[in-house]
Structure 1
Amino acid sequence: MVQQPAYDFVIDANVLFSCLISGRKDYLNLFVNYNIATPDFVVDELREHQDVILKKTRLPADRFHEFAARIFKDITIIPNFLISTQYYFQAFLLCRDIDPDDTSYLALALQYDVPLLTRDKLLVDGLRARGYTNVILLDELFSQ
């Protein structure tokens, strides 16, 4: 049996968007202090919103690129095809009425049995209402 890597969290695009836009050191510490994974679907979402991220960032261009490179150095991006169909189905059932776009993130969190870390309060509230509690708002993590 292949041993699964030990991750602390799976993060969604909302966490990365906030991090990249803010340029705050506490976000950088998140990626340095925790072992974080995300599905490769995040790359599509980042590409789709890259103009907004670049427009809203509070960092000068050179510092933004340096900051982003440091973050991505510490994230493991998992190809979607490595996520089990079983977990995709389970995640879809949980996410379908909340936001189907979050299915990949939740499926990966289910597969590795780690919390999904997000800034999406509607997602957190919706999942918790369905009895799924292994999800954390970023603000909850920072307030611990």
Structure 2
Amino acid sequence: MNIVIDTNIFFSIMLKKEGFLRNRLLLDLDLNTKFYTCHFLMIEIFKYKEKIVKQSKMTEEEILEVLYILLKKIELYNETYISDENYKKAYDLCKNVDVKDIPFVALTLELDGKLWTGDKKLKKSLIEQGMDIFY
């Protein structure tokens, strides 16, 4: 199974030193499960670096260690390899919710995977449009 992790789940995993989400990702022993995210996530990490450090109550060094561990488990996918067809479909699905979700939805479609998100507004909108693609 291919699972695409969006920004809010990734941040939730990073913000808690211990926790269910991190354990779910790191301890997933199903060898057929692969985790992916978009390169765009790295921009978001740099953009919100100070906020992540502050809210996590970890040192910057600890945050970098967590980031390193997570990125060993998650494959970064270059969005330029996503087909125009899947980008267009993702745009149509997300344009009324949040355009920052487009790459993650497009990647989910591209990989025929499941989207791991905590974004209730996105989930509701996609389900209403007949897209129940969630992990």
State the TM-score, normalized to the length of structure 1: 0.83
Name the Cα RMSD after superposition: 1.5
**Alpha-carbon offset, residue 55 of structure 1:** 1.0
SS at match of 2:103: helix
Unaligned runs of 5+ in 1: 1-6, 137-144
Residues 1:12 and 2:6 aligned together: yes
**Alpha-carbon offset, residue 54 of structure 1:** 1.1
**Alpha-carbon offset, residue 131 of structure 1:** 1.1
Residues 1:103 and 2:102 aligned together: yes
Unaligned runs of 5+ in 2: none
State the TM-score, normalized to the length of structure 2: 0.88
**Alpha-carbon offset, residue 101 of structure 1:** 1.1
Partner residue in 2 for 1:53: 52
Q: How many residues align?
A: 130
**Alpha-carbon offset, residue 23 of structure 1:** 1.9
- Residue type matched to 1:41 in 2? F
**Alpha-carbon offset, residue 69 of structure 1:** 1.4
Partner residue in 2 for 1:39: 38
Q: Distance in 1 between matches of 2:120 and 2:12?
A: 14
Q: Distance in 2 between matches of 1:62 and 1:40?
A: 22
Partner residue in 2 for 1:21: 15
SS at match of 2:116: strand
Percent identity, aligned pairs only, is 26
**Alpha-carbon offset, residue 77 of structure 1:** 0.3
CA offset digits 1:54-97 (Å, max 9, x no partner)? 11113344433322211111110011111111100000000000
Higher relative contact order (CA closer than 8 Å, sequence separation 6+) = 2
Q: Distance in 2 between matches of 1:82 and 1:30?
A: 28
- Residue type matched to 2:41 in 1? V
Matches within 5 A, 1:65-144: 65-136=64-135
Runs ≥4 residues deviating over 6 A: none
SS at match of 1:104: helix
**Alpha-carbon offset, residue 22 of structure 1:** 1.1
- Residue type matched to 2:85 in 1? Q
| Alignment check: 8 A CA contact 1:31 1:75 kept | no
